[in-house]
Copies of this chain bind each other. A is one copy, B any other.
């Protein structure tokens, strides 16, 4: 797509996507998504008079899906200008990108970018002749770090960055520790509404979907090992067990391991179980969790996939040896064949399964996206000095506000504290209802 000049119906061409002609189909997908994203839609409605993001120039780097499109268009509705790139080379929904381009939003992304394309797209968003971003919305930290390294002076002028992923947040804390963070950052990843909803509930549903769409595997009776029992791992394990799989867990953290035990999963090392399992799932956020020695011991037909942010969890390089044959079976499904005929099925080349091979329910994403929008508004409008060059969590009250915006869809009715009860508990009637250390 880099070489192909496309124009949208208004004659604009400041974008780079697969095919502008898919715009209409993408628009329909965005409309469907809107109906399950109540938080953002209410924010838009309230924008009526005010434009809390007027003058904001948001550069974004996220998965490009119908749901992020709803977020981007919400930011625009709130007054912002946006430029957007993809944070993952496989997850872009081309039609959605087309719909955004058609709507006049400069978007640079397509499914199946090369490594070079990826950075080229980011660069196109980061800097342009007439564009100096003042806010960053990032998922993974690639954009933030590109700006840092390539446009150090520019990056200093930025009002703040909102980061969603474990990895990206980790990189920000590293910078902060080393005293190298030069702008305020809001860590959306550790908001309870992100961590407990997006990571847990979203992965709970999408692990099943991703596996089914790629392999039609039956879950009942299948033996599965899940590496990592954090939020993502908890979601994957719960769903697989609920459908009749026999699930084993690996962990490094004794507390998470004990939770796995109490929840009814055997905790073993990968070496101990890898021989007997039908499916291996990584969700540690770590690297080289599945290595060649594990592959060599898997049984024929074993499937491997990753739910963590990066494709480093599985050591794929170790499979690129002469005696192993790689066969491409279906989109996102590869088969690696051992000399003795043993075959192992690799999904999405080790990239994040659910974003590559399934779609994610809009509702869960609505929670994160609403949090992101609120975080950008907060950073943009905060009085000088409220945020230093540090990493912040959103105030709990905002977390509760985000949750509240998502209750009506369930026809859920909250109880209100009486004055007497509020006093007894020592909290305000209108929240925040819990101390900061509360874990949910």
B209–A407 touching, CB < 8 Å? no
A362–B254 touching, CB < 8 Å? no
The segment from A28-36, A82-90, A105-113, A123-131 that touches chain B is A28-36
B190–A437 touching, CB < 8 Å? yes
Given contacts A28-B329, A426-B174, contact A421 B286 (CB under 8 A): yes
Option from B174, B260, B421 in Cβ contact (under 8 Å) with A288: B421
B216–A204 touching, CB < 8 Å? no
Query: Which parts of A209-260 form the interface with B (CB within 8 Å)?
Result: 209, 212-213, 216-221, 239, 241-246, 250-260
Q: Tell which of A35, A192, A262, A287 has the most Cβ of chain B within 10 Å.
A: A262
Asked if A390 is at the interface of the complex by the 8 Å CB criterion, the answer is no
Chain B residues with CB below 8 A from A418, complex form: 288
B267–A201 touching, CB < 8 Å? no
The segment from A56-64, A69-77, A143-151, A409-417 that touches chain B is A409-417
Chain B residues with CB below 8 A from A361, complex form: 216-218
Q: Tell which of A32, A264, A364 has the most Cβ of chain B within 10 Å.
A: A264
Counting every copy of the chain, the complex holds 4
Asked if A393 is at the interface of the complex by the 8 Å CB criterion, the answer is yes
Chain B residues with CB below 8 A from A217, complex form: 361
Complex Cα distance, B415 from A288, in Å, reads 13
A426–B170 touching, CB < 8 Å? yes
A412–B266 touching, CB < 8 Å? yes
A439–B255 touching, CB < 8 Å? no
Given contacts A267-B412, A329-B32, A406-B258, contact A252 B426 (CB under 8 A): no
Sort chain A's interface into a size bin.
35 or more
A403–B258 touching, CB < 8 Å? yes
Complex Cα distance, B257 from A440, in Å, reads 11
A287–B421 touching, CB < 8 Å? yes
Asked if A301 is at the interface of the complex by the 8 Å CB criterion, the answer is yes
Option from B197, B262, B424 in Cβ contact (under 8 Å) with A286: B424
B255–A221 touching, CB < 8 Å? no
Asked if A44 is at the interface of the complex by the 8 Å CB criterion, the answer is no
A177-220 vs B, CB cutoff 8 Å, 1 = contact: the mask equals: 00000000000001011011100010011001100110011111
Option from B193, B196, B424, B433 in Cβ contact (under 8 Å) with A253: B433
User: Chain B's nearest CB lies how many Å from the CB of A291?
Assistant: 10
Given contacts A244-B262, A268-B413, A424-B286, contact A218 B362 (CB under 8 A): yes
Given contacts A252-B414, A439-B192, contact A262 B220 (CB under 8 A): yes
Given contacts A28-B329, A252-B433, A329-B32, contact A243 B421 (CB under 8 A): no
Complex Cα distance, B130 from A261, in Å, reads 46
Complex Cα distance, B329 from A32, in Å, reads 9
Q: Which residue of B lies closest to A32 (CB)?
A: B329
Chain B residues with CB below 8 A from A255, complex form: 192-193, 196, 399-400, 403, 433-434, 440
Option from B213, B216, B257, B407 in Cβ contact (under 8 Å) with A407: B257
Complex Cα distance, B186 from A188, in Å, reads 30
Given contacts A239-B243, A364-B218, contact A358 B258 (CB under 8 A): no
Complex Cα distance, B96 from A395, in Å, reads 47
13 pairs, A vs B, C-beta closer than 8 Å: A173-B426, A190-B437, A213-B213, A220-B263, A241-B264, A243-B264, A245-B264, A253-B434, A255-B403, A269-B415, A286-B424, A288-B418, A288-B420
Closest 3 CB pairs of A and B: A218-B361, A242-B242, A267-B412
